[in-house]
Amino acid sequence: MPATFTPTPRFRKDATGRVRLLYGDVTFLALETGRTPGHISRVLGGERASDALRAEIERIVGASVDVIDLPRKRAA
């Protein structure tokens, strides 16, 4: 069985304080601000993320996260 490459999601804060999700060679604006300042409500994309990824995002942004979705990989 051939090995499949799964990109590791990486998160970076830009100069404006927004967080960007780098997934493979694609960069997404990763987070939408929630109803209260400093609260993150959603990561854009489709596939549910793990609790470990949620914890990593919360560590980076310094706020709680309600819903985390990663971009879906398109079928070839």
pTM for the model stands at 0.35
Computed from CA positions of residues 9, 12, 18, 20, in that sequence, does the dihedral angle turn out positive or negative?
A: negative
Could you give the CA distance from residue 52 to residue 67 in angstroms, rounded to a whole number? 13
pLDDT at 15 over 70: yes
Per domain, the residue ranges of the chain are: 10-70
Of 6-15, 38-47, 53-62, 67-76, give the lowest mean pLDDT range: 38-47
pLDDT digits (tens, 9 = 90+) for 49-61: 566 666 766 776 6
- Total Cβ atoms within 10 A of residue 10: 14
Could you give the CA distance from residue 16 to residue 30 in angstroms, rounded to a whole number? 13
